[in-house]
Amino acid sequence: MKKGKLYGIGVGPGDSKLMTVKAVELLQSADMIITPKTEKKDGSVAFHIASPYIPETAEILPMVFQMNTDMAAVERQWEENRKIITEKLDEGKNLVFLTLGDPMLYSTYMYIFRAFEGTEYEAETIPGIPAFLGIASYIGMPVAEWEENVLIIPATASPEKIDQALAAADHAVIMKVYKNWGYIQSELRKHHMIKKAVMVSRAGLPDEIIQRDLDSLPADYKPNYLSTILTKRDDL
C-alpha cells in the first residue's frame, strides 16, 4: 500500500484569513488532522484558527506533547507520538500537523519533522506567517530598516543570554513572555528598549490585547501565554 504523507502546516498569526491557499487546500483534502496538545493549549488555538477550512468529516487527532523537565518522560511521549503517526502513514493516510505561526519557529512540529527526516516517510512543511510578523503589520511597526539588526529570543532563555543578546540588538522580538515578565521589563529598561516596546497578546484573535506603556506594568504582571513583545532602541 502507498504510504501517506505528513504535512506540517503553519496557520499564521491568528486571523484565519491569513492562512495560505496551500494550507487551506491541504486541510480540505487531509485524511487526518493532528493538533498538538500541550499544557499551554496552543494546539487548540491553532485548531480554532484553521477550523473554518476543516471539513466536518475530517478525523481529528489531538496529540499530547509534554513540556516538563523530566526529559525521559518527554522522550517517551515523543516516541509514542512518532509511533502513532507512523501507523497512520502506513495505513496510507495523509496527515496534517497544525502549528501556530510558522512551523519552523519554536514549534512542536520540529520534533516530529526531525523524527521523519531521512526516513522512507515523506514530510512537507507549509510555511505560515510567524506571529511576530503578523503583529508588526497589525500594529504598524517595521521590524527592521536599513542596516539594523533584529533579535528574536524567547523569554524562557537564560538571563545571561537575554542580557547579552539585548545589548547587541537594534530591534527585538521577545516571545513566550508569559514567563519572566519582571526580568524582561528590567532588561528592556536597562537596554533603553522599553519606551517603544509593544506587547501584543492573542494577536489576530477576537480577544486580542495591545499594551504600549510597558514601563508602568507591575513587575508581577502575568501576560497571556500567547504574548509577544516588539521593540527597538529608544534612539531609532
Ligand X SMILES: C[S@@+](CC[C@H](N)C(=O)[O-])C[C@H]1O[C@@H](n2cnc3c(N)ncnc32)[C@H](O)[C@@H]1O
Q: Residues interacting with ligand X, by CB under 6 A? A: 13-14, 42, 99-102, 105-107, 130-131, 175-176, 200-205, 225-228
CA-wise closest residue to 5 among 126, 111, 101, 100: 126
Least distance between ligand X and beta carbon 134 (Å): 7
Q: Are 174 and 155 in contact (CB under 8 A)?
A: yes
Is 4 or 185 the residue whose CB approaches ligand X more closely? Answer: 185
Q: How far is the CB of 127 from ligand X (least distance, A)?
A: 9
Conformation bin of residue 151: beta by default, left when phi > 0, alpha when psi is -120 to 50: beta
Closest to ligand X by CB, 89 or 115? 115
Q: Residue 102 or residue 170: which is nearer to ligand X going by CB?
A: 102
Residue 170: CB minimum distance to ligand X, A: 20
Which helix (H) or strand (E) segment holds residue 83: the answer is helix 71-90
What 3-state DSSP class applies to 218? Answer: coil
Amino acid at 53: Y
The residue among 201, 197, 198 whose CA lies nearest residue 225 is: 201
To ligand X, the closest distance from the beta carbon of 177 in angstroms equals 6
Closer Cβ to ligand X, 55 or 142, answer by number: 142
